[in-house]
Every structure is written in structure tokens, then in C-alpha cells.
A and B are shown apart, each in its own frame.
Chain A
Amino acid sequence: MNLISQRMRGPWTLFKKELLRFWRVGFQTVAAPVMTALLYLLIFSHVLGSRVEVYPGVPYTVFLIPGLIMMSVLQNAFANSSSSLIQSKVMGNIIFVLLTPLSYIEFFSAFLAASIIRGLCVGFSIYLVSMCFIDLPLNHPWIILAFAVFGSGMLGAFGIIAGLWAEKFDQMAAFQNFVIMPLSFLSGVFYSIHSLPPLWQTVSHFNPFFYMIDGFRYGFFGMSDISPWFSLSVVIASFITLSLVTIGMLRAGYKLRG
């Protein structure tokens, strides 16, 4: 740690603490989402496996995996920053960080980076486990990584916003159940949006999760519902917008410094 310049040690420490926080309870923060994704895979592939073929030549089970990975990456990136913040706010230990010379940018960067790492950890674990059963093509690994990083970054920032806004655990649960869950389930994880009626296709185009799932899946199969470059632009633009909102809230001390 002494290799890091003194100025960087503050945010680096906060980042490390945020990493350790989820790593200490890895069974709940990494193993549990892997288990959930595998259950989805088991059930949906059993029910639909022989009946549905979304992309020509790609079995449904194989089609499903990238979407499940990305959905877990996004949900866990969100969970990391939001649960850390709401817990420290409710427990009151958030003041340990507020009393320090850390700037709002440093605070933001540390929480964001830890969320991205958690998202990638969960995603990579699901990938590794599913490799045991299924042979998954990897057409564009860098595109996969880009979507995973910007997607988890966007949800990490979103998690900070939710964590700042919520004052109680039930408000956070409401945010998760009424915003994050619908957005991720209605994003085309389990289907291609071309199979939807026109109205729902249009609605799906307003869901940023759709672009993240679709582009991420392109990285594996080289096929997608819309252009992966358009999707990547949407994801990066959403990431930047949410980051700016988050930074603005932190800078104003929203619900942190009265």
C-alpha cells in the first residue's frame, strides 16, 4: 500500500474497504447470485429448451446464459453500492468517512470501482460454472468486457443514488423490487424482443437494460437484435449521465451533509 502516493491512499483505502465488505460475506454476495442464475438456467432451459430457438443454430439454453450473466452483473453492482450506503447510514458509521478529507469525487470513485468489481466477480463466476455444462462461444471478448464494465458502472452509480436517497431498508427494497427488477426482467434476458408485440418492442427500447443485455450477448454470438455499437453508445451515455447525477448529489451533500 505504501507504493501508492499519499494523496491516493484515502480513496484506495475506501475502495479496499468496500471490496472487503462484500468479500467477507462472499457466500451471500457472490455464491448466492451464482446459485440464483443457475436455478433460472435449469428451470427455463428445461421448460423452453426444446421449443424455442431465438437465434438460428443457437440452442435456447446457450442463448439464455449471457443474458443471465449480465442480469446478475447489473443487479449485483447495484446491490453493492446501495446496500453499503444504506447500511452505513442506518448504522450511523457513514460519519467515519464523512469526517475524513476524502472529496466527493474520491468517495464516488471508490464506491463505483467496488461495485464494478463485485459485478464482474459474480458475472465471471456464473460464466465459469456454466462452462461446466455448456459450451459457450466467445466471439468478441472485448465487447463483452466493455458492456460488463460500463453496465456495472452504470448500476453502481445508480446504487449510490438509491443509497443516498433511501433512509430505511424498506425504501431500498422498494427501489430494488419496483425499479431494478422490472427493468432487468423486461430487458430481453429470457427472449429476443423481436418476439414481442410492436408496442412492447417500442417500450423495450426505452429500457437501458435492454441495450446492455443485447450488446453483451453480441459479444458471445456475434448476433444481436440491434447494432452493438449503438447499444454501447447508449450504455456509455447512460453511465455518464448517471455518474454526473451521482457526483452532483454527493457534491451537494444530499442527505449526507445538512
Chain B
Amino acid sequence: MTPAIQLTQVHKHFGALHALKGVDLNIEQGEFFALLGPNGAGKSTLINLLAGLLRPTSGTLSVMGFDVLKDYRRARHALGVVPQELVFDPFFNLREMLRFQAGYFGRGNENDPWVDEVIECLGLTDKAHTNMRRLSGGMKRRALIAQALVHKPPVIVLDEPTAGVDVELRHTLWEFIKRLNREGHTIILTTHYLEEAEELCSRVALMKQGEVIALDSTKNLLASIPGKNLKLKLSAAVPQSLMAMVRHQDALDYMLNLNEITQIEFVLAELRNANVSVLDMQLIEPDLEDVFVDLIGRS
């Protein structure tokens, strides 16, 4: 099957800055894929190259098999992009905006039922005739998602879709995006909320300084972190002998990394010897954040 997204040796320079350093990436159709990485890792550059907002210095990119430069019309028909910034056109109302957007893709009145369906699915029906300026931040965010969907693209890219969105709305949005994925859409997202990526995405690429430093299924990445995390609330600071195991610290709340579960006895013995008592204790499976911290630190 043609990959939904294919990048081959993609380089992008901005003057002296080498923003993407030979990225190779394949995303299969129907995947729910996360692109993670710290600020400046090159995630947005990669998305903008796919969308045709930037041109690569070298290398090739394709969407559903269509080259984003040579066959840009078909590549753009296949791609829906939800941008990170809350941009809107202040001259029009939501429904007009969506109908214009569909029109740019060659769709006419026959597409109106789909426009109305998207508006309804995103809970914006009562705002359909409201000027974009008057919509709240959360509504503008949903309007952007609607705009990316009006031409029924098989591949949808969401750049930080839940940034600044409250918890309830985030849940609604994810339910909708999960539904799109179940219906066969390929979903690619960048997010700062690692727990979202962990819960939703089957595969993850981790980027750092313009390179993909890890690319694997979420399951395998989680398995790559050995041992478990031990969360402790103590009466005093941990003794020096345990400092090497500390992952995070917040006053007297500690997160220790255990290579093996048997190390728990050593930890408790050291605490007893130092006369530090344990006020609370919890054993936690490593999450994507641990993988993230581990890989970013290591590379």
C-alpha cells in the first residue's frame, strides 16, 4: 500500500540554520502517529514542508504517493492541515469560511451537507453564522479543524491541536479525531502533552535538532525504559547514596528510577539508615515522558 506520508533524505536550511538534517520517515495509511520533540526540533518545519508552505533544500516528500512539489495539486487534495496559530479571516462567518475553503479545492454546493456535518460534529452548529472574530479561542480552534476537513482529505496533520484548550474540550476533540482515525483517516499530530500521544498514538517519532532520534511503536518505546519509577514522599532529603537514582525532585517529593524491582529493598534500607521516614510511596510504570527525557538526554 502507498504510504500516507513518505520523506526521503529531507534537508532544510534557513540561512546558516540546518533545521532538518536528512529526515527519512514513512507513515502508513490509517496510522495514528505522533511527532514529538522539544521546541526547535524541526516538527513544524517538517509539517510546513508537507503542506507546501516551505520548500525543501533537498530531498523528497510525498502525500499518498503524490510529490508535494511536482504533483502539488493532488498532494494538497490529500492533506488537511490544522495550523498551530489561531488564524482566522475576520471578514466572514464560520460557514462562509468553510464553504470558501471547500471551493478552493474545487468543491461546490454539493459539498454543503458535509460542511454542515463537520460543523455539527465539532459542536459549532449554533455558531455557523457568527463572524469568526466573535468566536472564543476554543471555538476558533475547532473552526480550524473543520477547515482542514472540508475537502475530505485522507491524511490529517494537527500541529499542537490542544494547545490552550480546556480539559473538557480536549476530550471532545480527541473523541472526534479518534473517530476520524477509525473511519480510515491517517492522523499525524504534534503535541506537548505527552500523555495524549501515549494514549492515542500507535507510533511515535521523536525529533531533536532536526533529526529523528527515535521512531518506534509507543509500546516498544515504553518497553525501552528499563525498570520502574518509585514515587516517594519523605520526611527529609534523600541520602547521598540514592542521589544517582533521582529522576525528578520537587521539595521532598522524589521520583526514583529503579533498574530492577529488587532495588526497592536497597532504597528502603538506605532511607532507614539515614533516619528518613517514608510518608507515601507509589510504584509507577515508565511513561512516554520518561522515554522522552531519557532519549533527549542521551543523544
Contact = CB atoms under 8 A, between A and B. Distances in A.
Contacts of B52: 98-99, 257
A99 B72 CA distance: 10
A95 B91 contact: no
Contacts of B104: 10, 13-14, 96-97, 100-102
A170 B279 CA distance: 62
B77 A257 contact: no
Interface in A11-58: 12-14, 16-17, 20-21, 24-25
A9 B52 CA distance: 21
B280 interface: no
B105 A101 contact: yes
A96 B89 contact: yes
B77 A101 contact: yes
Contacts of B110: 2
Nearest to B91: A21
Nearest to A4: B108
Contact of A258 (B55, B87, B105, B106): B55
B88 A93 contact: yes
A156 B108 CA distance: 27
A96 B74 CA distance: 16
Contact of A1 (B76, B89, B90, B108): B108
Contact of B76 (A6, A91, A100): A100
B266 interface: no
Interface in B105-119: 105-110
Contacts of A100: 76, 101, 104-105
Contacts of B54: 257-258
A93 B87 contact: yes
Nearest to B48: A258
A92 B74 CA distance: 24
Contacts, number: 89
Contact of B108 (A9, A24, A98): A9
Contact of A12 (B48, B55, B81, B103): B103
Contacts of B101: 96, 100
Nearest to B103: A13
A13 B101 CA distance: 8
B88 A101 contact: no
- Band of interface residues on B: 20 to 34
Interface string A58-84: 000000000000000000000000000
Given A1-B109, A7-B106, A101 B73 contact: yes
Contacts of A92: 83, 85, 87
Given A96-B89, A101-B72, A13 B83 contact: no
B207 to A, nearest CB: 19
B147 interface: yes
Given A91-B88, A91-B89, A93-B89, A99 B51 contact: yes
A253 interface: yes
B265 to A, nearest CB: 57
A253 B103 contact: no
Nearest to B88: A93
B15 to A, nearest CB: 11
B98 to A, nearest CB: 10
A163 to B, nearest CB: 15
A241 interface: no
A70 to B, nearest CB: 28
Interface in A74-124: 88, 91-93, 95-103
A97 B104 CA distance: 7
Contacts of B92: 17, 20
B43 to A, nearest CB: 16
A98 B54 CA distance: 10
Of B53, B55, B107, chain A has the most CB atoms within 10 Å of the CB of: B53
Nearest to A24: B91
Interface string B39-60: 0000000001001111100000
Contacts of B55: 253, 257-258
A10 B105 CA distance: 6
A102 B101 CA distance: 11
Given A20-B92, A258-B53, 6 more contacts: A17-B92, A91-B90, A95-B87, A96-B104, A99-B53, A257-B54
- Sorted nearest first, the 4 A-B pairs with minimum C-beta distance are A13-B103, A92-B87, A100-B104, A101-B73
7 contacts: A6-B106, A7-B106, A92-B87, A99-B52, A100-B105, A257-B53, A257-B54
